[in-house]
């Protein structure tokens, strides 16, 4: 099972649609943990509902989506890394996932909340508290020129990453249907984003490693 960690409702569509559709196609169960409900403009409840609707087009069951609304993780504000690290570890253990997906240090768009997801996972991994049978993959942030070349970034992506997911025509159509469910966010510049962004067509990942060598934790036996 897979856990996708995102910062805001619509991240799953704008950045991770190709991998979600690919995992769904081979019947992998995916859980989504959204750390913030996107309440910066007072639309947290609306955006949470939109996320529940959108994921169904990406092959994720709405009941497998959790949206947090904690004071420690305000939309657009500074997040408590240690607190988030502990929350993520708890979800990894409770759900018994064997793979976690999230943003890399660049956060794709440079958004601080995106980067905070990576920093919390990296912190937990480096401290050795992530169970040893759990792998963490982070979405590659690419330079601006590559970001908006759509499917034409494919040759570079193939050359630079061993972990690649390419959207088929029906996957791109599904991403559009999902994004239309994010009605509060689907303004004109996101319309252009959906046309030109390589993240609608391509996802490439890398596996993270601990910054310092620390013994890793073993997953507790369910019978103990």
* E strand or H helix at 33: strand 30-34
pLDDT band at 82; cut points 50, 70, 90: very high
CATH number attached to the domain at 2-207: 3.40.50.10320
Domain ranges of the chain: 2-207
Relative to beta strand 99-103, strand 135-139 is parallel
Phi/psi region, residue 70 (left: phi>0; alpha: psi -120 to 50; beta: rest), is beta
pTM of the model: 0.90
Identify whether the C-beta of residue 66 lies closer than 8 Å to the C-beta of residue 38.
no
For residue 212, pLDDT over 70 is answered with no
Return the SS3 of 8: coil
pLDDT tens digits, 6-63: 999 999 999 999 999 999 999 999 999 999 998 888 899 999 999 999 999 999 999 9
Measured at the CA of 76, the angle between CA 42 and CA 157, to 5 degrees, comes to 120
What confidence tens digit (pLDDT) does each residue in 89-127 have?
Answer: 999 999 999 999 999 999 998 899 999 999 999 999 999
């Amino acid at each position: 099972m897979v856990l996708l960690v995102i910062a805001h409702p619509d991240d799953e569509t704008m950045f991770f649609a190709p991998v979600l559709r690919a995992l769904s196609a081979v019947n992998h169960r995916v859980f989504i943990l959204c750390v913030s409900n996107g309440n910066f403009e007072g639309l947290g409840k609306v955006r949470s509902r939109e996320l529940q609707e959108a994921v169904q087009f990406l092959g994720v069951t709405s009941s497998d989506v959790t949206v947090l609304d904690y004071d420690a993780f305000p939309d657009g504000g500074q997040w408590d890394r240690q607190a988030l690290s502990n929350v993520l570890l708890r979800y990894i253990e409770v759900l018994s996932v064997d793979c976690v997906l999230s943003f890399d240090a660049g956060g794709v768009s440079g958004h601080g909340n995106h980067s905070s997801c990576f920093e919390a996972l990296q912190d937990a991994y480096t401290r050795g508290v992530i169970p040893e049978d759990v792998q963490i993959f982070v979405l590659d942030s690419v330079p601006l020129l590559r970001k908006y070349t759509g499917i034409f970034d494919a040759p570079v992506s193939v050359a630079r990453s061993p972990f690649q997911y390419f959207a088929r025509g029906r996957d791109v159509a599904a991403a559009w249907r999902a994004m239309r469910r994010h009605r509060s966010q689907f303004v004109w510049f996101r319309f252009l984003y959906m046309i030109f962004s390589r993240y609608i067509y391509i996802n490439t990942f890398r596996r993270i490693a601990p910054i310092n060598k620390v013994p890793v934790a073993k997953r507790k036996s369910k019978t103990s």
